[in-house]
Structure 1
Amino acid sequence: MAKNKTIVVKGNPITIIQKEGTEFISLTDMLKAKDGDFFISDWLRNRNTVEFIGIWESINNPNFNYGEFAIIKSQAGLNSYKLSVKEWVEKTNAIGLKATTGRYGGTYAHPDIAFEFGMWISPEFKIYLIKEFQRLKDDESDRLKLEWSFQRTLAKVNYHIHTDAIKQNLIPEAIDKNKINFVYANEADLLNVALFGQTAKQWRTENPTTEGEH
């Protein structure tokens, strides 16, 4: 399981989890930055919110339930309208929002949707959220590049150690340079070259009449 990550936006720790290879940002953590008593359901009942998420789902979710979405959209903004994240997901097969339980329980959203939620908190919060999330991605990218560079260097070192060990311990001094090249080109022929001075293919080419006698 991928380890959860945290970014700090305007002094507020925001948890990022990974589900099925996709990152989701905690709207529950983000909500703590909004003054007053507000709930995610207050944001979800807004008609602009419903339209935005519906468009996002239509682009990214082939199983999105447009029929249920149309019903929800027609009711959004009414005083009597109320919808939870769980109901939204169950009715529309949405994938951009997730309600989780347990240690890291709460409401999470795909970054695209989380950034829109950040605007609901405040324009300033949205800008800093995007900035900190991008900083996290840049740090991860730099770390992966460093790890790849290290692994590549290590592979080169190991290759030289490996080939030097072959040269010193397994290749007779009598073998000429052309035959030594076969050792490095084909590990399957290593013992053939070291013991007999030629690969199996070379031996078959030079001894066509003896092949198949045994």
Structure 2
Amino acid sequence: MSARIIPFDYEGQPVRFNADGWLHATEIAERFGKHLRNWLDSAETLEYVRALDELQHPDDGPSAISNVRDSGYLKTRRGNNGGTWLHPKLAVAFARWISPKFAAWCDMQIDALLRGDGKPWASARREAALGYRAVCDALALNCEARGKTPQRHHFINESRLINEVITGAFAGRDRDQLSAGELEIVTLAELRDSVLIASGMAYAERKASLSQYMHTLQGKRLAGGRAA
């Protein structure tokens, strides 16, 4: 199973796939107030997996699968990104158990991933990296203008400042786990911050200005969501 995890945004919540279309089912079931084991242990799911297996391997005769967990169509991982991941051929059947709307949405995302149409997330990730580069360049120029040498902690703290005005926590975030929408917010904050740094604005003033910008930006997004 591919290690690259691609988060998509479903009704404001991240849904994780990997680049091969496998779906992180554990967190989805919990979010919808369901127990994944109930679906895995159902006779209907076992029947579906057997039918799928026979179609996948027509020359092998009737499927000998007796337990969904040992079928090869799901994988359980420990540690980071731990939980149960479902094969793309099984993920939509699981999603139908969650809700018809979620199933239709999953079908579209998996289809796009398997066709290689993951461009929106990849583009957002690249733009966020460029935004961070702009912040670093602005910091370096600001330090040089004051006769100082930029240090590594300057860049780390500025990145954490960006995260703080967005999430409220002065800490790092794994950007590979963010959705395209979340990455877009990060990029906008970075671009605004680089302009504020270039203007010579002090740290405390930048923080206040960025916080107000994020408040306004997120308010507009919520209003847009209600209008839709």
The bucket for the TM-score relative to the shorter chain is 0.3 to 0.5
Calculate the TM-score normalised by the size of structure 2: 0.44
Structure exhibiting the larger radius of gyration computed from Cα positions:
1
The structure whose residues are more often helix, as a share, is 2
Calculate the TM-score normalised by the size of structure 1: 0.46
- The structure whose RCO (Cα within 8 Å, separation 6+) is larger is 2
